[in-house]
Structure 1
């Protein structure tokens, strides 16, 4: 019986494949009320992902250095880094806890960590696989205040608390 259990465990791990990030982009969006938009983005994404036989079996982690988020305004970016508390909490990560099929899309549940605070997040995504190539595109929204961060305001200018996140990943399954 012991040998059978070992063989089954080995078979499960032998079937797991790593998913390597070929190309990816994460873009955030918020607004300065009465003024303009802020749209920082990054392509510097670290991943540790695995996949068994189905898309629903994808598990792992996405991580960025918050300082890699850049917009079209360098001065505003420096202020954004202060708001995100990058000096004390430089990393933002998302760990997948479950993926379920919902009609023609997938619901990705996971844990987002920012400013050393963990929050459960759900995202609706399009995930397609063609041979060993897999694409994942989706979005979700968060509130800065949920992560202990205050949206900046000065005089009559206030930054919206809600941040809309869009992501796009091209992955390759390595058996």
Structure 2
């Protein structure tokens, strides 16, 4: 425990001893913390490309200790008077992408919604039940609608940014979206990440307002996928 938190603890003890309620300001100042941002492409440890031909079918590798695949959401909320950013994620992601002449011609990313978690079990219970109804809507998807030119991907382990037009489906509600994707070819693996700005009501999702917590009307759907060629 750092000296700072010893001091904070002493302040709280004194307030309690004096019968003072530790209210929302104190909660927001000393206790509530925002989550780390959603994972994105990293060039740390990246290797030069092992091939200059990326045509073929590429399959998403589910996340584990060996790769970085993950997807989920980011949203701001006010919790007990404190503004915090919440990031929910899962490594249970699947799908595939078809590339022809260095161009994505088709592809879909599927996310298992009931496996999305944050650092709070109560929040996750609300997400699975009242908010997303994961028993009824077990997957969320993003499908490519237009060709995406990947010919600009460097072969030296650095990244490029491309724009993808597609359809995002949440709770069986589908909407056209545009997403800036950062793409890396490292060795024989393609890695891509993106963040899709999302207004929850567009997908029939009602952000909760429960008195002690209020969730913003918009946020983002985030993904980081690793793909291997078949």
- Name the TM tier (shorter chain): 0.7 to 0.9
Across the two proteins, how many residue pairs are aligned to each other?
159
State the match for 1:122 in structure 2: 178
State the match for 1:94 in structure 2: 142
Let me know the Cα RMSD of the aligned residues: 2.3
Taking structure 1 as the reference length, what is the TM-score of the superposition?
0.80
Give the SS at the match of 1:78: helix
Distance (Å, rounded) in 2 between the aligned partners of 1:49 and 1:166: 18
Task: Indicate yes or no: 2:191 matched with 1:143.
Answer: no
What are the Cα deviations for residues 136-162 of structure 1, in whole angstroms up to 9, with x where unaligned? 122111111000111100226310111
Max Rg structure: 2
Name which of structure 1's ranges 158-167 and 29-38 shifts more when overlaid on structure 2: 29-38
Distance (Å, rounded) in 1 between the aligned partners of 2:184 and 2:213: 42
State the match for 2:132 in structure 1: 84
Task: Indicate yes or no: 2:95 matched with 1:47.
Answer: yes
Q: CA deviation at 1:71?
A: 0.7
Aligned pairs (5 A) from 1:45-84: 45-54=93-102, 56-82=103-129, 83-84=131-132
Distance (Å, rounded) in 2 between the aligned partners of 1:140 and 1:111: 11
Q: CA deviation at 1:166?
A: 2.6
Unaligned runs of 5+ in 2: 1-53, 62-66, 153-159
Taking structure 2 as the reference length, what is the TM-score of the superposition?
0.62
